[in-house]
C-alpha cells in the first residue's frame, strides 16, 4: 500500500513538473535565466577572450539576451570549462539553451541508468523519483550545470568499486569545473586510494590546466582566481543573496557574524571529513562503500561554501546508494525534505531552503548511525570485477 501511494505521488509530481516546464518554456521569450551566464562566457571566449571575466562585458551580453538591464551574475567557471562550452557561443541564445538542455537531459539519463544498474532495490520507484526530481526540473529551467557533477560522482563510485583507480582519480579531477565539489572527496580518496589514483588526478588536472592556458592564456587563470576572491568577499560580507544556499555556511552567515560562520563551517568540514576518513570501508566491505559514498555526498552538500538549490540534484545518488533501512525509517523525512525542497521554495520561499543544512546534517548522522543491511551498488565480492588501473 505504501509503495503504491509513493508511486502515485511521484507520478503526480512528475506530471505537474513537466507541465510546468513546458508552460514556462513556451511562454518565455528567453528561457533559462541562469543559462545566460554560461552563454555570455561562451560568447566572450569566441569574441573577446580577454574579457571572459570582465563584469561589464558579461553583463552587456546577459542584458541583450534577457532583455533586461538588471542582470548582474558572473561567470564563475575556470578557463578550461569556458573553452569546453565555447561552441554554444556560436549559436543564437535560444538554440544554445535547447542544445544545453538536451546535453543536460542526456547526462542525467546516463547517470540514472548507471545508478539503476548498481541499484538492486525497487527500480520502478527510483526511476519515478528520477523523472519527478524537482531539482532536475529546476536545473533545466534555469540552465545550470550540476548534472555534470552528478554524472562525474556516479563515474567515481563505479570506478572505485571496480578498482579502476587511475580512472577514479581522473574523474575526481573533472570536478575542478566547480572546485567546491572536491572539498571532501579529493583529499579523502587521494589519501586512501592507491598511487595510481593520485597519478590519474594530477595528470588530468594538469591537462585541464594546460588546455586553458593554450586555449586562452595563463593570465585567464589569474583573473579567474581574482574573481573567486571577489565572490568570496561578497559571501563573507553577506552582500550576495543567501536565500538559495543549502550549505551550512549560508545558514550560519544569516544567523550570526562572519567569524562564527567561518569558524563553524571550517570546523564542520574538518569533523565530517575526519569521520569519513576513519570510516573508509575495508577493501572487502564492498557493500559498505555504497553507504559511505552516500554520506560523502550529503557531507559535500553540507560543507561546500557555495552550494545552491539546484545542487540538491546530487540527492539522487543518496537515494540510490543509502541503506534501505534508512529510507524506510522515520528519518526518511530528512531525505524527503531535501528531495522536495525546490517545490517547498515555490510555496514557502527561501525560509524552506534555509532548513536544508539541518536536514543534511540529520541525514548524515542517520546514514552513519545505521548499520548497513541493504545497499545500492555491488552486494558481494564475487560480483565485483578485479581489474585495476
- The string of pLDDT tens digits covering residues 252-269 is 777 777 788 888 888 999
- Residue 52, domain member (yes or no): yes
Scanning the chain, the segments in alpha helix (DSSP H) are 2-27, 35-47, 55-66, 79-84, 93-118, 123-131, 134-142, 146-161, 165-174, 185-192, 195-215, 218-236, 248-255, 258-278, 286-303, 315-321, 324-327, 332-348, 350-353, 356-369
How much is the pLDDT for 388?
A: 39
- Residue 387, domain member (yes or no): no
Q: Contact, 111 vs 316, CB < 8 A?
A: yes
User: What DSSP string runs through 282-348?
Assistant: PTT-HHHHHHHHHHHHHHHHHH-TT-BGGGGGGHHHHHHHS-HHHHTSTTHHHHHHHHHHHHHHHHH
Provide the residue range defining the domain that includes 356: 2-381
- Residue 389, domain member (yes or no): no
Task: List 308's β-bridge partners, or say none.
Answer: 245
Task: List 245's β-bridge partners, or say none.
Answer: 308
Q: 283: pLDDT confidence band, cut at 50, 70 and 90?
A: low
User: What DSSP string runs through 110-145?
Assistant: HHHHHHHHH--S-HHHHHHHHHT-HHHHHHHHHT-S
Distance of CA 24 to the CA centre of its chain: 24
- Residue 388, domain member (yes or no): no
Nearest one of 283, 315, 24 to 165, comparing CA atoms? 283
CA-derived radius of gyration, the chain? 21
Degrees (nearest 5) of the Cα angle 43, 47, 52?
65
Nearest one of 363, 373, 353 to 295, comparing CA atoms? 363
As a whole number of angstroms, the distance between CA 147 and CA 151 comes to 6
Distance of CA 100 to the CA centre of its chain: 17
Residue of 239 and 21 predicted with greater confidence: 21
Give the count of domains, the chain: 1
As a whole number of angstroms, the distance between CA 337 and CA 352 comes to 9
- The string of pLDDT tens digits covering residues 25-60 is 565 667 777 898 999 999 999 999 999 999 888 888
- Residue 386, domain member (yes or no): no
Q: Which of 34-43, 105-114, 329-338 has the lowest mean pLDDT?
A: 329-338
**Does the pLDDT value for residue 138 go beyond 60?**
yes
Q: 387: pLDDT confidence band, cut at 50, 70 and 90?
A: very low
Q: 235: pLDDT confidence band, cut at 50, 70 and 90?
A: low
As a whole number of angstroms, the distance between CA 282 and CA 291 comes to 13
How much is the pLDDT for 315?
A: 93
Neighbour tally for 275: CB within 10 Å: 14
- Residue 167, domain member (yes or no): yes
Q: Which of 164-168, 231-235, 327-331 has the lowest mean pLDDT?
A: 327-331
As a whole number of angstroms, the distance between CA 52 and CA 72 comes to 15
Q: Work out the end-to-end distance of the chain between its first and last CA atoms, rounded to an integer number of angstroms.
A: 46
Give the cell for residue 203.
595528470
- Residue 55, domain member (yes or no): yes
Q: What is the mean pLDDT of residues 3-15?
A: 74
Q: Contact, 85 vs 41, CB < 8 A?
A: yes
Q: What is the pTM of this model?
A: 0.89
- Residue 72, domain member (yes or no): yes
**Does the pLDDT value for residue 361 go beyond 70?**
yes
* 3-state SS class at 245: strand
Amino acid at each position: 500500500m505504501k509503495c503504491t501511494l509513493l508511486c502515485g505521488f511521484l507520478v503526480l509530481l512528475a506530471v505537474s513538473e513537466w507541465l510546468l516546464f513546458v508552460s514556462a518554456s513556451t511562454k518565455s521569450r528567453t528561457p533559462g535565466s541562469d543559462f545566460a551566464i554560461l552563454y555570455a562566457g561562451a560568447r566572450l571566449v569566441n569574441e573577446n577572450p580577454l574579457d571572459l571575466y570582465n563584469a561589464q562585458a558579461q553583463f552587456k551580453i546577459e542584458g541583450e539576451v534577457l532583455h533586461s538591464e538588471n542582470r548582474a551574475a558572473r561567470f564563475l567557471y575556470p578557463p578550461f570549462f569556458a573553452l569546453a562550452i565555447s561552441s554554444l557561443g556560436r549559436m543564437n541564445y535560444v538554440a544554445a539553451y535547447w542544445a544545453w538542455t538536451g546535453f543536460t537531459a542526456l547526462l542525467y539519463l546516463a547517470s540514472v541508468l548507471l545508478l539503476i544498474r548498481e541499484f538492486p532495490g525497487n527500480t520502478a520507484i527510483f526511476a519515478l523519483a528520477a523523472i519527478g526530481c524537482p531539482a532536475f526540473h529546476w536545473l533545466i529551467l534555469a540552465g545550470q550545470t550540476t548534472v555534470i557533477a552528478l554524472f562525474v560522482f556516479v563515474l567515481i563510485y563505479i570506478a572505485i568499486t571496480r578498482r579502476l583507480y587511475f580512472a577514479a582519480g581522473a574523474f575526481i579531477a573533472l570536478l575542478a569545473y566547480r572546485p567546491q565539489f572536491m572539498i571532501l572527496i579529493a583529499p579523502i580518496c587521494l589519501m586512501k586510494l592507491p598511487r595510481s589514483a593520485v597519478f590519474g588526478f594530477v595528470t588530468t588536472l594538469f591537462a585541464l590546466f594546460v588546455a586553458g592556458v593554450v586555449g586562452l592564456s595563463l593570465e585567464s587563470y589569474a583573473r579567474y582566481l581574482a574573481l573567486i576572491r571577489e565572490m568570496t568577499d561578497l559571501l563573507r560580507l553577506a552582500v550576495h543573496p543567501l536565500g538559495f544556499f543549502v550549505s551550512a555556511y549560508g545558514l550560519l552567515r544569516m544567523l550570526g557574524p562572519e567569524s562564527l560562520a567561518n569558524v563553524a563551517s571550517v570546523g564542520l568540514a574538518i569533523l565530517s571529513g575526519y569521520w569519513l576518513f576513519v570510516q573508509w570501508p575495508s577493501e572487502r566491505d564492498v557493500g559498505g562503500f555504497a553507504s559511505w559514498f552516500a554520506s560523502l555526498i550529503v557531507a559535500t552538500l553540507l560543507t561546500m561554501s557555495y552550494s545552491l538549490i539546484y545542487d540538491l540534484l546530487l540527492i539522487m545518488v543518496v537515494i540510490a546508494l543509502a541503506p534501505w533501512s534508512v529510507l524506510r525509517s522515520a528519518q526518511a523525512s530528512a531525505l524527503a525534505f531535501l528531495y522536495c525542497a525546490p517545490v517547498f521554495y515555490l510555496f514557502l520561499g527561501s525560509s524552506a531552503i534555509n532548513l536544508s543544512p539541518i536536514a543534511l546534517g540529520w541525514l548524515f548522522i542517520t546514514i552513519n548511525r545505521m548499520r548497513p543491511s541493504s545497499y545500492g551498488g555491488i552486494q558481494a565480492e564475487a560480483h565485483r570485477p578485479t581489474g585495476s588501473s
